[in-house]
Structure 1
């Protein structure tokens, strides 16, 4: 069953788009990521124009994040104080990213920039996560007891002024740190159509030193508001939001997020990180291949 997308200008299989949304929702609930790092490339591979894929993915991530935040909120797994600071930074970043998006779009370079950002960011994050996860799994198999590491934020964050207490996260740090982190995530959300969770979650753990109990829920809380602001920016500036495409993705993602939140209770954290790292690296490799590999015949004409 095919359905025509008015903004993208092509027809898509309805069940395939709903299934893609379900997979993304599952990732959202399991890992605290918006899932845009998977949605946007897959939509581009399907034939959706990159600008439409980026804008519509942000719309879909908003709905998936609502479902994920509700699931984690019921388990008291959201630090709303930390999330509010991240949201302010993310909203400012979304405005800056919207301006940059329009400039690149006018220059005709948005497709190349989006692909390059995916390769660099996903490749780097994927390698770091995979190395750490494999190290943890191998240590467990050798019977080594995991080292009890104290939750500490990065030394650069310790020198920032105006410290606040974030009780649920167990932190006493400057709000400037999560504000800047939220800003960077907001810029990426607009330019890449991602929630930014694949950057935000590791940064909250290793840079801010947040308690892992509230990392996933707080990440989804921030992603919810930033992607909503991003959708408004795209709707008013780039006009690239395809509401029909976003609606199809949302149908699957809302249900998938609830299932993913429950699955986090069944799998060990190191295995969850390894699965996420593998998916990130596969997407980065495919995007890099699209930038470098040139088919022998760019266009083929088949007789009627």
Structure 2
């Protein structure tokens, strides 16, 4: 069944949109990422304008994060103290990101910038994730043991002034570190429609040194509030949020997040990360082709 999207200005198959939302919702539940880093490119591939895809994807990420947070709350996997600092930084980041979005839109470069940023971001993250997961899989097959990572915060974080205790995460660090991290993810949420979990998770583990049992839940907690803020700012400034598109994405993502959380407890994380990295690299490759491939119709006409 096709339905018309008023903001995007085209008709789409409802079932395809719901299935797309369900797929990224499963990733949210399994890995603690909002899924927006795949939602936006997939919507662009389907023909949704990049600005509408980025703005609407943040709404879908909100729904997936709500479902994922409740799943992790039941096992005590959320550090609310750390999450509050991350949310504060994220709120400031969304305001700054809205300014950048408006400037790029005025210059007529927002679509190109979104695509280029996604290529760089997905290529880098997918490559690092593939390398790490392959090393783990190879070590498991050969019976060798990888040297354990020491859980400690980065020296730059240790040198920041004014330390606070984050008891649930087992940290005694400056709140400036999570505040800056939240600020960066807030900018990415506004520009790209991503939740930022794909950056938050590694940064919380390797820069802040957080305990692994609260990283995913705390990441989803931060993503929840920052994507709500991003959606509100987009609605008031860019007016690129397509509510109809976001609604059907939400239907799929809320269900998918619960399924993903159950899979995460049963499947081996090394193989899951390897699969995710392959998906991310394939999406990045498709976006590179899209940037260099001349479309069949160079010009488009849109009624305002």
Q: TM-score scaled by structure 2?
A: 0.96
What's the CA shift string for 1:86-141, capped at 9, x where partnerless? 10000100000001001101111000000111011111111111111111111121
Q: What is the 5 A alignment of 1:44-63? A: 44-63=44-63
2:173 aligned partner: 173
- 1:288 and 1:197 map into 2 onto residues whose CA distance is 23
Q: What is the 5 A alignment of 1:107-146? A: 107-146=107-146
- Which piece of structure 1 moves more, 281-290 or 236-245? 281-290
Deviation of 1:298 after TM superposition, in Å, equals 4.4
Deviation of 1:272 after TM superposition, in Å, equals 2.3
**Structure 2 residue 4 is the aligned partner of structure 1 residue 4:** yes
What's the CA shift string for 1:51-85, capped at 9, x where partnerless? 11111101111111000000011011111111111
1:104 aligned partner: 104
- 1:276 and 1:75 map into 2 onto residues whose CA distance is 24
Q: What is the 5 A alignment of 1:159-198? A: 159-198=159-198
Secondary structure (helix, strand or coil) at the match of 1:4 reads strand
**Structure 2 residue 172 is the aligned partner of structure 1 residue 199:** no
Deviation of 1:173 after TM superposition, in Å, equals 1.0
- 1:218 and 1:272 map into 2 onto residues whose CA distance is 20
Deviation of 1:269 after TM superposition, in Å, equals 2.3
Unaligned runs of 5+ in 2: 300-304
- 1:117 and 1:50 map into 2 onto residues whose CA distance is 12
Q: What is the 5 A alignment of 1:13-32? A: 13-32=13-32
Contact 1:197 1:219 in 2 (8 A): yes
2:64 aligned partner: 64
Pairwise CA RMSD of aligned residues? 1.3
Unaligned runs of 5+ in 1: none
- Runs of at least 4 residues off by over 3 Å: 297-300
Q: What is the 5 A alignment of 1:123-272? A: 123-272=123-272
Q: TM-score scaled by structure 1?
A: 0.96
1:90 aligned partner: 90
- 2:51 and 2:294 map into 1 onto residues whose CA distance is 22
Contact 1:90 1:226 in 2 (8 A): yes
Counting matched residue pairs gives 299
2:291 aligned partner: 291
Deviation of 1:144 after TM superposition, in Å, equals 1.4
- 1:285 and 1:85 map into 2 onto residues whose CA distance is 35
What's the CA shift string for 1:212-238, capped at 9, x where partnerless? 111111111000000000000100000
Contact 1:140 1:146 in 2 (8 A): no
Secondary structure (helix, strand or coil) at the match of 2:48 reads coil
- Which piece of structure 1 moves more, 237-246 or 153-162? 153-162
- 2:234 and 2:7 map into 1 onto residues whose CA distance is 13
- 1:29 and 1:285 map into 2 onto residues whose CA distance is 25
